[in-house]
Amino acid sequence: MIDQTPARAESVSRLEAFYYWLKLGFISFGGPAGQISMMHQELVEKRRWISEHRFLHALNYTMVLPGPEAQQLATYIGWLMHGVWGGILAGVLFVLPSFFMLVALTWVYLAYGDLAWVAAILYGVKPAVTAIVVFAAYRIGVRALKNNALRLMALLAFMALFFFNLPFPYIVIGAGIIGFLGGKLAPETFRLGAARVATLQPLGAALIDDDTPIPGHAVFKLRKAVLILLSSLALWCIALAALIAWQGADSVLVDMASFFTKAAFVTFGGAYAVLPYVHQGGVETYAWLTTAQMMDGLALGETTPGPLIMVVAFVGFVGGWTKAIFGAALLPLAGLVAAGVVTFFTFLPSFLFILLGGPAVEASRDEVAFTAPLTGISAAVVGVIVNLAAFFAMHVFWPQGMAADFDGLSLLIALGAFVAMWRWNLGVVPVIFASALAGAASLLLA
């Protein structure tokens, strides 16, 4: 009988790790679930760089953090294998390809979006985006809303946004407080199970195995923790001070730096959960872009690799272009710089969370559990995403306002997209392409 157990890696060089993380940055389609599954298959099952238990332990930690869990998981594994620079390398390479792809697509979108055929394609894409958000709410709801108390929290979060337009951070904080109190009064109601990833074959020993001692760089040291914290704060302060000195305290770039720093700390539940907050700031408060452009950006983000939260780069690019921060002759440069600023301030906290918290997580890997506040936040996130879907639907199905005519074709495209994902498990990218073709066909048949 042939042994099918994958062989353990004896060692992994920094160059080998560099090539893997760069490759992952180019092929990481499918959203966080697909990206996590891709890393599990490659790192746990095939290469045996890390054991199942250690992988799940890292995943559980990243899922309780604000920010993109798949990018943070890559950062964590890179840090565990090769220290601080390994973590930074893995995290940066995970997002770098998607940043440049999204910037290029956004430039094409802004430069040529007024063409009839481009407008027709976007007409088909918008209802698909609405269906994608509805489906995201459904998937997260199935996992998060295990009882009536949590369902009520989701409903209250939806009402707080839809009817009262409450700021997103207040909803996150309120849900966390309710979860904390609920964990004391009714712990079973607010208990959340640990993450699981399916393994399709028996696994042998791994380079970082269940009983592998914590490497020296992953042991908690107060001096090192203080150094990481101060270095991160220094990077943030220097970058912000440079923007203020260059553009002024009331400039668009400084507003973006401040806003997306806040966004980085309230992105519990992934990109879909933070989109309403980004919409509130980007569309309603600062007018960097319109709701229609926000939906187009989400569609572009869904069709590029990397974390979906990279849609913030689209928001930054459009904002820099719309506000013409360098004058009318330098719109592409304005968009590129703004996208870079937004990306830097959005992802900097993610690296801080991993590099600062990783040693404590490694030291407690036999006692992993989700907290009650997280359970409350996860429930509220479902209501937040439903609100986003409702908001998109109103703009797509009644493009001229609720008092104007209803767009029946957009509804048909949205229903088709939802059924394709729900009934036939079709991926997001083929759904968007099929919907784009439907939009183009509507132009030909008009």
> How confident is the model at residue 127, as a pLDDT?
87
Domain-embedded: residue 129: yes
More confidently predicted of 5 and 311: 311
Q: Does residue 9 lie within any of the structural domains?
A: no
Q: What are phi and psi of 36, to 5 degrees?
A: -65, -45
Residue scoring higher pLDDT (390 or 252): 252
Q: Is residue 5 one of the residues assigned to a domain?
A: no
pLDDT at residue 283 is higher than 50 = yes
- Is pLDDT above 60 for 201? no
And the tokens for 2? 């042939």
> Range of 141's domain?
14-192+219-445
pLDDT recorded at residue 306: 81
Residue 170 pLDDT: 82
Structurally, the chain folds into a number of domains equal to 1
Q: Which residues contact 23 (CB under 8 A, 6 or more apart)?
A: none
Please compute, for residue 408, the number of CA atoms within 13 A of its CA located in the half-sphere on the CB side.
0
Amino acid letter, residue 48: R
Is 441 contained in some domain? Answer: yes
Classify residue 23: in a domain, yes or no: yes
**pLDDT exceeds cutoff 80 at 364:** no
Query: Looking at residue 295, what is its pLDDT?
Result: 84
307-328 exposure pattern, b = at least 16 Cβ within 10 A, e = fewer: bbbbbbbbbbbbbbbbbebbee
User: Looking at residue 20, what is its pLDDT?
Assistant: 92
Q: Is residue 145 part of a domain?
A: yes
Poorest-pLDDT segment among 100-104, 139-143, 235-239, 435-439: 139-143
pLDDT computed for residue 144 by the predictor: 72
178 inside domain: yes
Dihedrals phi, psi of 208, to nearest 5 degrees: -105, 95
Q: What is the pLDDT of residues 242-267, one digit of tens each?
A: 999 999 999 999 999 999 999 888 77
Q: How far apart are CA 99 and CA 346, in angstroms?
A: 13
The pLDDT value recorded for residue 367 is 44
Report the mean per-residue pLDDT for the chain: 84
Is residue 382 over pLDDT 70? yes
- Run of H or E residues at 340: helix 331-363
Nearest-angstrom CA–CA distance, 132 and 245: 42
Give the pLDDT confidence score for residue 29 in this predicted structure: 64
Are the CB atoms for 264 and 66 separated by under 8 Å?
yes
The pLDDT, as a whole number, for residue 305 is: 81
For 22-48, how does the pLDDT look when each residue is reduced to its tens digit (9 = 90+)? 988 887 765 666 677 778 878 888 888
| pLDDT for the residue numbered 3 | 46
Nearest to 168 by CA among 177, 158, 181: 158
Residue 325 near residue 186 (C-beta atoms within 8 A): no
- CA dist 360 and 53 (Å) reads 16
Residue 206 lies in a domain: no
DSSP state of 43: I
